Structure 1
Amino acid sequence: MTDHTADGPTTDQPTYPTHVEAQAQEWPGHTDGMTPTPDHGETSWRGLGRLAGKRALITGGDSGIGRATAIAYAREGADVAIAFFPAEMADADEVREIIEETGRRCLLLPTDQRTEEANQRLVELTVEGLGGLDVVVSNAGYQMGTKGGIEEFSAAQLEQVFATNFFGTFWLVKAAVPHLAPGSSIVFTTSIQAFQPSEVLLDYAATKAALNNLMVNLASELGPRGIRVNAVAPGPIWTPLIPSTFDGDKVEGFGTDTPLGRPGQPVEVAAAFVFLASDEASYVSGTVLGVTGGRAVF
């Protein structure tokens, strides 16, 4: 991606790894131990003040795309609350340290988002801790690849995937909307899977398609209130979700089947979240922005 410097973006293009070796982790996975180490913008993202004064809540903010988005938002001038599965506290502590080094506030809010009550409390704590709320990024997600067809999907897995990905987002937005003023932004993480579903991710892909539909409906409903709603659809991005939810042999060569020939890095997706949260996107609502390495999102 473009290298962001204190004087603005340059045209230097970093060289990212093109091949991932076979590897596996226990779910929910951690950044430590991933080879190669993902780029979340820890050293590469330098802000331009595009989100100065904004207050953002990012779910799944401890690792992967959420971590990169939290870092980018802070570097762009936002105070950030990050929600994360309680078992991922170590990664969340690392994110808070990076954000606080920028001089911005960071709230750590360990939460299992699978109930309406948990999301209500999450929003309450964010508004109390940050003094308000301007940007909501619903990024937390769960997937677990299977080895067979529909017969291999258990009721427990189906319920966890939908409760985490879809219900959690629905309850989060419902709780957040009363706190959002005109000019606020809501952004969902959907997926290329909503457009080009894999059989082994049948349940996950269905939730992402549902989120795209929910996003369009909410953009229509909330537009008259000055609240924009959009989605970012990542392609194959190198995050802990990959080695922790697929067999090691399926991780081998991850992302090399894209037109750009490599997996994406979390910081490359964060750029889309920055744009959609910024005033630069003041007339952008009801759209899906693909960050897919060349795969189509329509």
Structure 2
Amino acid sequence: MNQPQNPAHQHPRPEFPAQDQPHPGWTGPMDPPPDHGEQSYRGSGRLDGRKAVITGGDSGIGRAVALAFAREGADVLFTHLDEEKEEARETARWVEDAGRRAVPVSCDIREEANCRSLVERAVAEFGRIDVLVNNAAYQMSQPEGIEAISTEQFDRVLRTNLYGMFWLSKFALPHIPEGGSIINSTSVQAYKPSPHLLDYAMTKGAIVTFTHGLAQMLADRGVRVNAVAPGPVWTPLIPATLPDTVEFGKQAPLGRPAQPAEMAPAYVFLASPEASFITAEIVNATGGTPLP
């Protein structure tokens, strides 16, 4: 039996070793290694027979969600970038170890045609899409302020975080049956933006608004739309995009960053029949940071 633990000490706490990676970052070199629930997540058939699409499923929160969905009985198609093929193979291995189908797809969701093709691939593989998880995101810290945010960076952040989510939701909707759901990944940054992540935080605020609006639009179709707002989470994006990892997550009231495995149960719940009366909701998983 799992014994109750103090959540502040359940996973590693800063200070962490200084570490830096080029974008998009990889799981292997991270110290401490992220926990995606490989040894801890236990499924109970809550998503048995479901077909899920997850963007950014190669590592971090996306990998943890893919693993959890598979152990709950879902087949999973997930996206990754070309340079993340090794990471994607690892995610696929965990999905298949759970006895479910894994379909890794290299896809840059910044392009509309790629998003359309991704949905077509999912429908060809599965016949339908029961759960769409819009999780892929891009950020890059700019401590020198708005003057340092180039148009190229600004465009990449918006096209990854907003355009891709919009296109995939639009194209997937005709293939989402009644009882299906869309789950978006927003962030504590939507409510408490860090100045050095201005453009990223702006998109996360927009995701909250998109979630609220789309949920109302789709309620009469029987499709629920919700989002998860993580606080600091220990993923490859952190050493790849932030200048200082030593004290990452220390600002949370629990005094540490979350592990990806701690985010996955929120996505499982929102995708499951237990959440049948929950739509237009943001599940805040911030480690104690109060949000509106």
| Unmatched tracts of structure 1, length 5 or more | none
- Are 2:234 and 2:259, in contact at CA under 8 Å, matched by a contact in 1? yes
2:217 to 213, 217, 221: 221
1:158 to 134, 154, 158: 154
| Matching residue of 2:279 | 285
- Are 2:143 and 2:195, in contact at CA under 8 Å, matched by a contact in 1? no
The TM-score normalised by the length of structure 2 is: 0.97
2:13 to 14, 18, 33: 18
The SS at the match of 2:35 is: coil
Residue 22 of structure 1, CA deviation: 1.6
Which residue identity does 1:156 align to in structure 2? E
1:242-261 paired onto structure 2 within 5 Å: 242-247=238-243, 250-261=244-255
Structure-1 separation of matches of 2:64 and 2:212 = 25
Residue 12 of structure 1, CA deviation: 4.0
Which residue identity does 1:105 align to in structure 2? R
| Matching residue of 2:259 | 265
Q: How many residues in Structure 1 have an aligned counterpart in Structure 2?
A: 288
The TM-score normalised by the length of structure 1 is: 0.95
Structure-1 separation of matches of 2:24 and 2:166 = 22
1:230 to 219, 226, 241: 226
Structure-2 separation of matches of 1:258 and 1:21 = 19
Residue 84 of structure 1, CA deviation: 1.2
- Are 1:21 and 1:253, in contact at CA under 8 Å, matched by a contact in 2? no
Structure-2 separation of matches of 1:67 and 1:123 = 19
Which residue identity does 2:163 align to in structure 1? F
| Unmatched tracts of structure 2, length 5 or more | none
Structure-2 separation of matches of 1:137 and 1:24 = 28
Structure-1 separation of matches of 2:290 and 2:118 = 34
The SS at the match of 1:251 is: coil
Residue 115 of structure 1, CA deviation: 1.5
Structure-1 separation of matches of 2:98 and 2:253 = 36
Is residue 2:114 matched to residue 1:118?
Answer: yes
Root-mean-square deviation over aligned CA pairs = 1.1
Which residue identity does 2:291 align to in structure 1? V
- Residue identity over aligned pairs, in percent, reads 50
1:1-298 paired onto structure 2 within 5 Å: 10-13=2-5, 15-19=10-14, 20-247=16-243, 250-298=244-292
